[in-house]
Amino acid sequence: MSAYPHPPIAREGWLFLGIAFGLALIVTGAAGFLWATPPWLFFAFCVQFFRDPARPIAGNARSVLAPADGRIVAVEPAHDPWLQRDALKVSVFMNVFNVHSNRSPVDGEVRQRWYHPGKFFSANLDKASIENERNALWIRTADGRDITCVQVAGLIARRILCYVDQGTSLLRGQRYGFIRFGSRVDVYLPLDALVNVTIGDKVSASATILAELP
């Protein structure tokens, strides 16, 4: 299955890139390249932060894919606060050097979306899942399995972007949102899901299989 098409530089970063590039050109012309080094470095940082490379889409209809790039910081039984059920939680922490585009972990329909304002603790802490700003999607697969996918803001993240809502049909690996500047994504799975990752594993959005649904 081919990757969902999108620009190689995320559209969420075009404004930042334009400002950084323009500032770097102005300072270079006015004061020379040495004085312009900081704005050029900021431009380079924006390019790497907002990159959004095409990715292969792994697995099959029963696969639950990583919704984000990063490192696994939690694999544990947990209470799903959105669907009020016991679940397995798998959490992916994104630092500022990871790709921050978010992709659907499964094929399914968005049954509900919730947004909850909150605090901005470091996203690698467990309390970030229940205290930070977050946006949750309840996705139901064609065979009736429920997945909750939660975008969580981090210490310096100040903007969660989500482009889908109730009634939207998603394909696994389809791009649906973005979080700026460090964050995490929590995935709540049915208790009988077979988890394929452990804490510390590095994962790639849509290319890594987090779990399999029986």
Please choose, from the candidates 33, 155, 50, the residue with its C-alpha nearest in 3D space to the C-alpha of residue 100: 50
The two three-digit tokens of residue 61, written as one number: 């209809």
Please report which helix (H) or strand (E) contains residue 27, including its range.
helix 14-31
Q: Catalytic pick from 63, 183, 204, 206?
A: 183
Provide the token pair at 205: 């959005």
Examine the residue annotation and report whether 183 is marked as an active-site residue of this protein.
yes
How far apart CA 183 and CA 53 sit, in angstroms, is 19
Beta strands in 24-107 (DSSP E): 63-65, 70-80, 85-94, 101-103
Cβ(51)–Cβ(190) below 8 Å = no
Place of tokens 């779990």: 211
Active site residues: 183
